[in-house]
Amino acid sequence: MKDGSKSEKLITPFGGALVNRTLAGKEREEWLEKAGHYPSIQLSPRSLCDLDLIACGGFSPLARFMGKADYDCVLSSMRLADGTLFPIPITLTVNAEALPPGAEFLALRDEHNNLIAVMRLEEVFAWDPKEEARQVLATSDPRHPLVSEMITWGNRCVSGELKVLNPPRYHDFADLRRTPAEVRSLLEKMGHANVVAFQTRNPLHRIHEELTKRAAAEVGGSLLIHPVVGMTKPGDVDHYTRVRIYRALVEKYYDSNSTLLSLLPLAMRMAGPREALWHAIIRRNYGATHFIVGRDHAGPGKDSAGKPFYGPYDAQELVARFAAETGVTPVPFRTLVYLEEKKEYVEESQIPAGAKVAAISGTEVREEYLAKGKPLPEWFTRKETAEILSRTHPPRHQQGFCLWFTGLSGAGKSTTADVLTSLLLERGKQITVLDGDVVRMHLSKGLGFSREDRDTNILRIGFVAGEIVRHQGVALCAAVSPYRAARNEARQMVGEDNFITVYVDTPIAVCEQRDSKGMYARARRGEIKGFTGVDDPYEPPVDPEITLDTVRHTPEENARKIVAYLEERGFLIR
Ligand code: ADP
Ligand code: ADP
């Protein structure tokens, strides 16, 4: 433990020097002109984050998306072909069909078609998501968020020299977004050679404040609070909310002479131990000599069998094992607990016998406090954090939700939704009904009943429902929606927590007997083709939140059953 005195030099970047692939001045102008003539490919938000960090040197010494030699070595041995440690593959993947034949250069564009960079196309090689998942993530379980995402990335990798002409620009928190060179210059001014970095994708609570301050004291240096604002785990608290919290806390509770808050546009992989090691290398590029590694660092939660993907201390061990090589020493995040009587945090190993400890888990924060509108206690989180969180996470009875009715034509979706609308209006809710037949007259006019058209219809309804729910409204959607995959996509668009599947489970014989619109008769006569339940499949939902029986129960009874469910979940106050 040493005390850093002023004007000490920072550690060098990993591999010696910071990469900079961003062009400026005349050279940039020339390439901008040429780029207009090159065929384009579009970068996903993830690839855009990767490109951003390659361009500014966050991934130094990596200066391009990996070619095959580097890629193969990284998969099997966590090293680039020249032996440099680099545990995570950074590739630009595309679909073979998207690659223009014979291209020498590619213009890389973002999702809005803005030009970002030019790549000299030096290599194209086959890419297999299964193999990468097996070697890097050590799993093929689709519960791993990256595994389920990777299958959409394509089947080829492209690589070659990069010239970045317009690095991605972000307009939010612009003053906190800094390149490695900019972070280094600020840390340099703080004057300590030792710098401990803290990675986070969660709101900062008192426990994190304690541990970051203790870590800085322990290494006798500066503290770099370095939250990820690129991509984190789906379902995390959004970065706008988080950064407002970080900023408020750093301003008020940290020593400004030795603490720097800076945002990192990293796209996380949730790859556990390998990711922790990668995080350490990235932080060295920003000037860190020490890195806080907690329990289950960058862990993706539990697999399909309910087991954690990685051992709780695997990440700490891996970072420690390579500390000499990375130059970054892990500072283990020991579990702290709050002693109620002494009103302080202590390490778990130092709890006096019989002492009362207090703890609130992440799930409890969401379910027991935020969802119920109960304020988080001050021993757990600063009042600034509690306030920001409660503003962006209103209690559940103020949140919007989507009730998604699915079932055969004539099952009773519209009839039940109609009764429910009255009951919810009576309770003061704002309702939008997105009924299949009505949507098809307006939003989806012209769409037919081919599988593709039906999926398009469902995704349009899902999109609109998502917007309504985000603005705290109630969307009642009633469409046959026969295909499970499309319903699941709609669920993702709205958000898992606020999407309620209502399966109107009426047997086909009953629907056919009702035949309120005379459709079944026409379908049986062959006048309508591809009619759900007659000559097109209906895939029942696997785990619907609510299943309705319209044979034994009236529409009123079923609507009241839904109201009871909403009360139980807290979407309606009893
Ligand atoms: P969908 O919207 O599922 O195509 P509709 O609600 O338009 O179905 O039609 C259902 C038909 O069945 C209506 O004519 C309705 O009066 C009749 N029906 C009979 N019993 C019930 C019930 N318990 N719940 C809903 N509808 C019922
Ligand atoms: P989807 O989920 O398939 O888009 P909608 O609820 O939007 O279904 O529309 C289905 C309604 O359209 C049914 O209630 C039925 O009256 C009518 N319809 C017309 N052709 C078909 C068909 N081939 N299959 C199912 N419903 C059809």
Tell me: the pLDDT tens digits for 140-188? 998 899 998 898 899 999 999 999 999 999 999 999 999 999 999 999 9
Distance CA 86, CA 70 (A): 9
Q: Are strands 115-120 and 105-109 parallel, antiparallel or unpaired?
A: antiparallel
With a 6 Å cutoff on the Cβ, whether 522 touches ligand 2 is no
Burial 356-366 (b: 16+ CB within 10 A, else e): eeeebeeeebb
Closest atom of ligand 2 to CA, residue 409: 14
Residue of 415, 435, 511 to test ligand 1 pocket, by largest number of atoms within 8 Å of CB: 415
Mean pLDDT of 421-438: 94
- Token pair 């469902």 in the structure block, residue: 458
Instruction: Decide if pLDDT at 235 tops 90.
Output: no
- Angle, CA 226 vertex, CA 129 and CA 112 arms, to 5°: 55
Do 489 and 462 touch, CB atoms closer than 8 A?
A: yes
Q: How far is the C-alpha of 208 from the C-alpha of 205, rounded, in Å?
A: 5
Alpha-carbon gap, residue 188 to 29, rounded angstroms: 33
Indicate whether residue 561 lines ligand 1 (CB < 6 A).
Answer: no
**Could you give the domains of the chain?**
25-164 (3.10.400.10), 174-392 (3.40.50.620), 396-569 (3.40.50.300)
Task: Classify each residue of 18-52 as buried b or exposed e, where b means 16 or more C-beta atoms within 10 Å of its C-beta.
Answer: bbbbbbeeeeeeebeeebeebebbbbbebbbbbbb
Task: Pick 332 or 377 by higher pLDDT.
Answer: 377
Q: What is the mean pLDDT of residues 226-237?
A: 93
The reply to whether ligand 1 has any atom less than 6 angstroms from the CB of 555 is yes
pLDDT at 334 over 80: no
Q: If you average pLDDT over residues 190-199, what whole number do you get?
A: 98
Instruction: From residue 46, give the alpha-carbon distance in Å to each of 17, 91, 153, 189, 238.
Output: 25, 10, 10, 33, 16
Does residue 103 register a pLDDT over 70? yes
Q: What is the mean pLDDT of residues 398-421?
A: 97
pLDDT confidence of residue 453: 94
Q: Which pLDDT does position 1 carry in this prediction? A: 40
Judged against a pLDDT cut of 90, whether residue 574 lies above it is answered with no
Strands 162-164 and 115-120: antiparallel
Examine the pLDDT at 528 and tell me if it is beyond 60: yes
What pLDDT score was predicted for residue 537? 96
Is it the case that residue 309 has pLDDT exceeding 60?
A: yes
| 529 C-alpha to ligand 1 centroid (Å) | 22
Annotated active-site residue 44? The verdict is: no
* pLDDT tens, residue by residue, 350-373: 899 989 999 898 889 988 999 899
Pairing of strands 123-126, 222-227: unpaired
Find out whether the beta carbon of 411 lies less than 6 Å from any atom of ligand 1: yes
- pLDDT for position 6: 55
Place of tokens 């998501």: 129
pLDDT surpassing 80 at residue 7: no
Average pLDDT, the chain: 95
Work out whether the CA dihedral 432, 436, 441, 443 comes out positive or negative.
positive
